[in-house]
Amino acid sequence: MVSMNENLSIEQQWTLVLDQATSIESLMRRYPEQWDGVKDSISRALNAENPEIVSELLTKADTNARSWHNRVKVASQITKARTEALPHLVKSRMIHLAVKKVLDRSLNAGNSDIVQSKLDKILCNFLFYAPYGQHRPASSLAVKTLWPAVRDKTAAVAKAKKLGFYCLYTDKFINFVRKVSKDQNVLEIAAGSGILTLLLQKSGVACRATDDLSWGHAVRFGRHVEDLDAAKALKKYNPIVVLCSWPPPENSFEESVFLSASVDTYIVVGSKHHFATGARDHYLKQKDFTMEVVACPDKLLAPPGLDGEVLLFTRKMSVV
């Protein structure tokens, strides 16, 4: 059983556990029994220093959480179902938050001083960055050939994160968006730095970047990024094609995409670990779009092993 807080109802605890602002420390204090149940598996996975083991732990936690979410959705007695599901969701969130904290600490070690060997700098600059620190699409062929030669991959990813990139885009991804958009104007929501929009513009795609600028503490916004939240941007521009890269998990703004009558295509770049990105409940609840997981994400996104995912939502044809 979950260690209940007398001041919080099951519904309030449910909201607390799913709230992205909730820290691992607060969950540990509130649910010590659940922490005791997962701390050893977290420790073993992280101490193994094997990304595949960590990935497996996250995938299992994610699958378990989704299973209990689905049970609650179809339950006739919601409060009872949430009471049964809560211990499992608490454990899943603890795993996600603990791993994320350790990885963030590792990537941010040394603050602004990210040390790369001269060879690694040359390889990464060639693969991912244009002169003067600008970003460019990575050649998928070059990544496949040269990424294995980068010795300190953690430092390479840390540098990308410092520059504001949750992932790096290959030429094949840019071509994919160009093909899917079919010469239609593209609206990028929650665009962050706006790098993706610039890449698409350089390739001939008419793309506009918008963001509510609420992540200014973590992101350097480009001057071309318009200060608009998703709902206002959709209302202002009535786009046919919408794009979002690395949307925050359990966000509320993606629902407005599915409710926008003008939108026929929605492209999402995120993590295959469903806790990490995207309004997954809205993805599953909406009825007007088909959802396709695009094949070969390692050819579309870099660096390899990112565990990225590209989703393509296409409006269903109305039956007359």
Q: What is the mean pLDDT of residues 253-266?
A: 96
For residue 171, what are the contacts with CB-CB under 8 A and spacing of at least 6?
137, 138, 139, 140
Q: Would 274 be classed as within a structural domain?
A: yes
Predicted local confidence at residue 160, as pLDDT: 73
Cis amide leading into 303 (omega within 30)? yes
pLDDT of residue 2: 47
Residue 208 within any structural domain of the chain: yes
Q: Rounded distance, CA 81 to CA 73, Å?
A: 9
Residues 72 and 198 in one domain: no
Are residues 264 and 190 both part of a single domain?
yes
Q: CATH no. for residue 216?
A: 3.40.50.150
- Indicate if the pLDDT at residue 304 is higher than 80: no
Say if residue 73 is in the same domain as residue 201: no
Is residue 271 assigned to a domain? yes
Judge if 77 and 203 occupy the same domain: no
What is residue 315's three-state secondary structure?
strand
Same domain, 177 and 291: yes
Q: Is 210 exposed, middle or buried (0-12, 13-18, 19+ CB in 10 A)?
A: buried
What is the span of the domain harbouring residue 45?
10-107
Q: Which two tokens stand for residue 154?
A: 């953690």
Question: In whole angstroms, what is the distance from residue 166 CA to residue 207 CA?
Answer: 20
Euclidean distance between CA atoms 72 and 251, whole angstroms: 20
pLDDT digits (tens, 9 = 90+) for 192-231: 889 899 999 999 999 999 999 987 766 778 889 999 999 9
pLDDT tens for 6-52 read: 578 888 888 888 776 688 888 988 999 999 999 888 888 877 766 67
Q: Is the same domain home to 76 and 189?
A: no
- Contact predicate 235/209, CB 8 Å: no
Residue 159's pLDDT is: 75
Domain boundary among 91, 107, 123: 107
Domain check: are 178 and 101 in the same one? no
Please list the residues that pair with 227 across neighbouring strands. Answer: 211
User: Do 101 and 181 lie in a common domain?
Assistant: no
The amino acid at residue 170 is T
300 domain-assigned = yes
| Residues 216, 92 share a domain | no
Q: Is residue 30 part of a domain?
A: yes
What pLDDT, in 10s, does the model give residues 169-189?
999 999 999 999 998 999 999
Distances (CA, A) of 270 to 35, 114, 189: 28, 25, 14
Indicate the helix (H) or strand (E) that contains 208.
strand 207-211
Out of 107, 127, 156, pick the residue that ends a domain. 107
Q: Do 184 and 294 belong to one domain?
A: yes
Helix or strand (DSSP H, E) at 146: helix 140-146
Helix H, strand E, coil C: the string for 28-63 is: HHHCHHHHHHHHHHHHHHHHCCCHHHHHHHHHHHHH
Q: Is residue 114 part of a domain?
A: no
Amino acid, res. 197: T
Domain contains 132: no
Per-residue pLDDT at 187: 98
Spatial CB neighbours of 144, under 8 Å, sequence gap ≥ 6: 304
Task: Pick the last residue of a domain from 107, 126, 147.
Answer: 107
292 and 215 in a single domain? The answer is yes
Domain count, the chain: 2
Same domain (yes/no): 177, 303: yes
Domain assignment present for residue 241? The answer is yes
